[in-house]
Amino acid sequence: MSVIRQQQGQVLTLTINRPEARNALNPEVLEGLIDGFAAVGELDDVRVVVLTGSGDRAFCAGADLAGGLTADASIIDQHEQRGMLRRLFEAVEALEVPLVGRINGHALAGGLGVALACDLLIAADDAAFGTPEVRVGLWPYVISALIVEHVGPKRALELMMTGERLTAAEAERWGLVNRVVPRDELDTAVDALVAQLLAGAPLALALGRRSFHEARSMSPRAAMAYLHGMLDLTVQTEDVAEGIGAFFAKREPQWKGR
């Protein structure tokens, strides 16, 4: 199975399961991830998704250059297969729960894009990040939009033009990663972050995540008007009344998700 789904309580973990190929992306992996994210909407009890890779060498090494495309596919079919990464990003954006990246090893090329599509990233201190495509005659076209959004044009071009790898500490300084921890503390750090997310109001997280992505493509003036509307929507929810009531009563809120 190229992508393993494992649910424990309110947490769904998706694991790219090709350790022998450094968890490289092929059509089966991409389809498995797209299906996995789509399934979240059908699971009412899932409140956080964690994405990781098998083993301890690589989170995801990018596209499978050795056998990523179906050999006998037509030009159109190959074009559609190459577009699966974009479909994956669309599936991630459509999520209504937080997505945490557990970066257990190298995140390179398209694998870096998959990592950056996550909301929050915690990386092992020996992980590496980069876009080596230029060294094999390619360019990280699809993921370049995500890279620019995270680090700005100058650093993005430096990363993509040189093909150099960043250490986990450098990636954290560049703003690509939220937190770097020793490898033996990775699971503990991910669990602690997930616990923080589970403590938040699920509806606020869903609406907030949606508004964050919608507002990114707007001008500041248009974004403020849109976000004003989202605020008016949110304050009418039962969870807001519960949260404020719990705050003043000095008790833990009981979220209803409505």
**Any idea where the domains of the chain sit in the sequence?**
3-198, 201-249
pLDDT digits (tens, 9 = 90+) for 109-153: 999 999 999 999 999 999 999 999 999 999 999 999 999 999 999
Decide yes or no: CATH 3.90.226.10 for domain 3-198. Answer: yes
Helix (H, G, I), strand (E, B) or coil at 80: helix
pLDDT digits (tens, 9 = 90+) for 15-71: 999 999 999 999 999 999 999 999 998 887 999 999 999 999 999 999 987 765 555
pLDDT digits (tens, 9 = 90+) for 67-119: 655 556 777 777 777 789 999 999 999 999 999 999 999 999 999 999 999 99
Question: In DSSP terms, which residues pair with 13 in a beta bridge?
Answer: 6, 50
Looking at residues 218-235, what average pLDDT do you find? 96
Question: Whole-angstrom Cα distance, residue 114 to residue 117?
Answer: 5
Position 68 scores a pLDDT of: 55
Task: Name the DSSP letter for residue 200.
Answer: S
Percentage of the chain lying above the pLDDT 90 cut: 89
How many CA within 13 A on the CB side of residue 49?
A: 27
Say if CB 169 and CB 163 are below 8 A apart: no
Are 3-198 and 201-249 in the same CATH fold?
A: no
Q: Which of 156, 137, 154 is nearest to 146 (CA)?
A: 156
Question: Whole-angstrom Cα distance, residue 117 to residue 108?
Answer: 13
Whole-prediction pTM: 0.93
Position 11 scores a pLDDT of: 98
Identify the architecture of domain 201-249 in CATH: Orthogonal Bundle (1.10)
- The pairs formed by 210-213 with CB atoms below 8 angstroms and a separation of 24 or more are 210/96, 213/93
Percentage of the chain lying above the pLDDT 70 cut: 97
Which sequence positions are flagged as catalytic?
A: 133
pLDDT digits (tens, 9 = 90+) for 168-190: 999 999 999 999 999 999 999 99
Confidence of residue 219 (pLDDT cuts 50, 70, 90): very high
